[in-house]
Amino acid sequence: MANETAETQRKEPKVGEALRGLKQNASDLGMAVSLRRYELGDKLTAFVQERPLAAVGAALGIGYVLGGGLFSKTTGRLLSIGLRIGAAMLTRDLLGGVEVEQRP
């Protein structure tokens, strides 16, 4: 029995070793997140400089959605108007080549 407990203790990692491994993994994760954050920041800065109006539009849209505007009456009205305009444009395009006969 004494031999079994000694063998079991040798196979199990010690708490100190496990903590060092965990600390190293956390440090590696922190470095990776930090590098990715800087890369994303650089890409975002380049996008804003190249397309400032698109960036403002995206910011307005994101703010509207995060502000709870997605399921509001205003959004419903805007979607309704947009769908009507889209349907009118589609109908016009589909019927654009059709000639209408006029009766004298």
> For the segment 68-81, what is each residue's pLDDT rounded down to a tens digit?
888 888 889 999 99
pTM for the whole structure: 0.45
pLDDT at 23: 86
pLDDT classification of 3: cutoffs 50, 70, 90: low
pLDDT at 94: 87
Residues 6 or more apart whose CB falls under 8 angstroms from that of 64 comprise 70
How far CA 69 is from CA of 63, 73, 75, 78, 95, in Å, comes to 9, 8, 7, 11, 36
pLDDT at 61 over 80: yes
Amino acid at 15: V
Token readout for 88 is 């009118």
pLDDT digits (tens, 9 = 90+) for 6-60: 555 556 668 888 888 888 888 888 898 888 998 989 999 999 999 999 999 999 9
pLDDT at 93: 86
